[in-house]
């Protein structure tokens, strides 16, 4: 049974929603979260969006004491917004944080199942590429990009994760404490891969839950060739560093060179 102050077996939960120019989406996504999981709090982390998303967030916070706003100076990327949100949650004693996009791609209706999975996990990844998941209205080039990106990340980094680039997640704060977040350098998509890698190396329990992912209907994607390029070169860099470390330490690696973290 859900209580008013958190999710059973998980504790106090903060849903962090990073926003940049999502004024047309924010009210809709926040109301869906409130309806799907009334016991969670919400933090909108806005990078001073020119379209007035910050003001929309303030209005929502004024109507609902469970909605909060973190105003940031300017566009600094998804990774920086999430790290700021994690810090905000830690300072206020939350037990778990949820990463969720504002554009409706991450259905709040999937969150109860993800929180239930978090009862027995440290990190829950809402996966687009596991049995039972659905991806709606994505053009072929986006499907291919995601599939190929995930295949590359999985092979290069040796992570048993089907959706390492996916951005719909639950992290227990205790698990984030076990990761070296100070070392995180990603701006865009690769932030999700970087955290997957850190979690895998730290040996925390990672579970994937199938989600229904839908292409955004309103507003514009912030995805760019630069973000894809960043993911590619960072994954390649990590893979090379992992193999060098494995060689130096003489620790196990697979025939394709992937490191098996002890």
Q: Which residues of the chain form contacts with ligand GTP (CB under 6 A)? A: 18-20, 22, 45-47, 75-78, 81, 101-103, 105, 216, 221-223
- Dihedral angle computed from the Cα positions of residues 225, 230, 236 and 240, in that order, rounded to the nearest 10 degrees: 160
Residue 101 or residue 194: which is nearer to ligand GTP going by CB? 101
Tell me which of ligand GTP, Mg ion, none is bound by residue 18, counting a contact when its beta carbon lies within the kind-specific cut-off of 5 to 8 angstroms: ligand GTP
Tokens of 64: 């609902």
Query: Which positions from 125 through 164 interact with Mg ion, judged by CB under 5 A?
Result: none
Return the H-helix or E-strand segment holding 228: helix 225-249
Q: How far apart are CA 96 and CA 90, in angstroms?
A: 9
Total residues interacting with Mg ion, rule: CB under 5 A: 3
Phi, psi at residue 129, to the nearest 5°?
Answer: -125, 35
Query: Which positions from 64 through 123 interact with Mg ion, judged by CB under 5 A?
Result: 101, 103, 105
Tell me which of ligand GTP, Mg ion, none is bound by residue 47, counting a contact when its beta carbon lies within the kind-specific cut-off of 5 to 8 angstroms: ligand GTP
Residue 127 or residue 258: which is nearer to ligand GTP going by CB? 127
Q: How far apart are CA 209 and CA 144, in angstroms?
A: 21
Distance of closest approach, residue 57 Cβ to ligand GTP, in angstroms = 11
Residue 81 or residue 199: which is nearer to ligand GTP going by CB? 81
Residue 101 or residue 122: which is nearer to Mg ion going by CB? 101
Phi, psi at residue 25, to the nearest 5°?
Answer: -110, -25
Phi, psi at residue 38, to the nearest 5°?
Answer: -60, -20
Distance of closest approach, residue 53 Cβ to ligand GTP, in angstroms = 8
For CA atoms 63, 69, 73, 76, the dihedral sign is negative
Q: Where does this chain bind Mg ion (CB under 5 A)?
A: 101, 103, 105
């Amino acid at each position: 049974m859900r209580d008013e102050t958190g999710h059973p077996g998980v504790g106090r939960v903060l849903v962090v929603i990073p926003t940049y120019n999502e004024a047309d989406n924010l009210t809709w996504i926040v109301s869906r979260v409130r309806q799907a999981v009334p016991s969670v709090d919400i933090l909108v982390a806005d990078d001073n969006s020119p379209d007035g998303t910050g003001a929309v967030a303030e209005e929502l916070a004024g109507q609902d004491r469970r909605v909060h706003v973190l105003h940031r100076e300017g566009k600094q990327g998804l990774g920086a917004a999430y790290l700021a949100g994690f810090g905000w949650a830690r300072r206020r004693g939350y037990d778990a944080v949820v990463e969720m996009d504002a554009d409706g791609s991450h259905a709040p209706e999937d969150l109860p199942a993800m929180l239930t999975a978090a009862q027995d996990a440290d990190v829950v990844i809402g996966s687009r590429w596991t049995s039972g998941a659905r991806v709606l209205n994505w053009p072929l080039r986006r499907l291919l990009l995601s599939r190929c990106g995930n295949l590359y990340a999985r092979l290069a980094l040796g992570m048993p994760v089907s959706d390492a680039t996916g951005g719909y997640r639950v992290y227990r704060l205790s698990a984030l404490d076990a990761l070296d977040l100070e070392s995180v350098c990603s701006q865009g998509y690769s932030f999700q891969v970087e955290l997957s890698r850190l979690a895998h190396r730290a040996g925390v329990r990672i579970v994937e839950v199938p989600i229904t992912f839908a292409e955004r209907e309103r507003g514009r994607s912030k995805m760019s060739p630069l973000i894809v390029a960043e993911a590619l070169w960072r994954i390649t860099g990590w893979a090379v560093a992992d193999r060098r470390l494995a060689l130096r330490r003489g620790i196990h690696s697979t025939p394709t060179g992937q490191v098996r973290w002890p």
